[in-house]
Amino acid sequence: MDYVSALTPAKLNLFLYITGKRNDGYHEILTLMQKVSLYDKINLSVEEGEEIRVSANEDIPTNGQNTVYIATDVFFKQKKIKRRGVKIIIEKHIPTQAGMGGASSDAACVLKLLNKVLPSYTEVELFELSKQVGSDVPFFMVDGSGIASGRGDIVKKVEIIDPLYYIVVKPDFGISTSWAYSQLKTLTKSELLFMCDLAIYTKNDIIRCLQNDLEKVVELYRPEIKMIKERLLDNGAKAAAMTGSGSCVFGVFYEEQEAEKAFIKMTNEYTTVYKLRGI
């Protein structure tokens, strides 16, 4: 039996501009994403038979609705590889329906692990395969930070040269990605779209372009999002925003000591708070 495991990181959307509606039902986006130091763990083994078995330490779908299951199925189908039994155990630490990309990160990790155990694809082929699994999955196939465009399936690597620290608050509710996008009525009004062309970002660049076009939509439904942002700013964040379609909200800090002070204060107000660094 072949057994492999890996940690798989969360992400934050440092900006999310929505620029158009596509014919396939998705939206055109421009988003800068950075991986952060919060991880799920994937344990994968290849066994006898042909069954895909997924389990997790949280109550999440483990059937064909799970991106990890979809990734495994696509891996075998694309090149008509001889199907093997696969057992996947997901140790969840990244919150769900939170805008932190846990499901997509897990799926990307599974594709990489399968290709390690059953070498079948080049790096380029595996990246193209990830587009069939989910919109954010391609981002997690590459190292470091990136600008994602299209529906999220076109990724350009970029560098964030200054260390950044984040306090992330997960409220006691989740937000459905499909619901958030369905509520969107207007496209981006940002005057900073030119910043999507940068290859290198400083901490000041990040603060300047921090914006999430889904925030106003979600705030109408969940005003707690705005309240959390305000509390992060009150506690020293240089800027604050919702990540992805929510529900997590993050504050940006330049110094780890300042982030630690805010972390202590925010944990007195909210149940689920993370102190993270960009990776």
List 11, 112, 131, 170, catalytic entry: 11
Reply yes or no on whether 153 is catalytic: no
- Do strands 154-160 and 145-149 pair parallel, antiparallel, or not at all (unpaired)? antiparallel
* 52-56 and 145-149 strand pairing: unpaired
Going edge to edge, which strands form the sheet with 272-277?
A: 239-242, 249-253, 165-170, 272-277
Task: Check: CB of residue 279 under 8 Å from CB of residue 164.
Answer: no
d(CA 91, CA 7) in angstroms, rounded, equals 9
Question: Catalytic site residue 11?
Answer: yes
Looking at residue 261, the DSSP 8-state letter turns out to be H
Largest CA distance in the chain: 57
Q: How far apart are CA 121 and CA 114, in angstroms?
A: 10
Q: Which of 106, 136, 153, 213 is catalytic?
A: 136
Per the listing, tokens 């799970």 go with: 66
How far from 231 is each of 89, 201, 218, 239, CA to CA, in Å?
37, 26, 18, 11
Active site residues: 11, 136
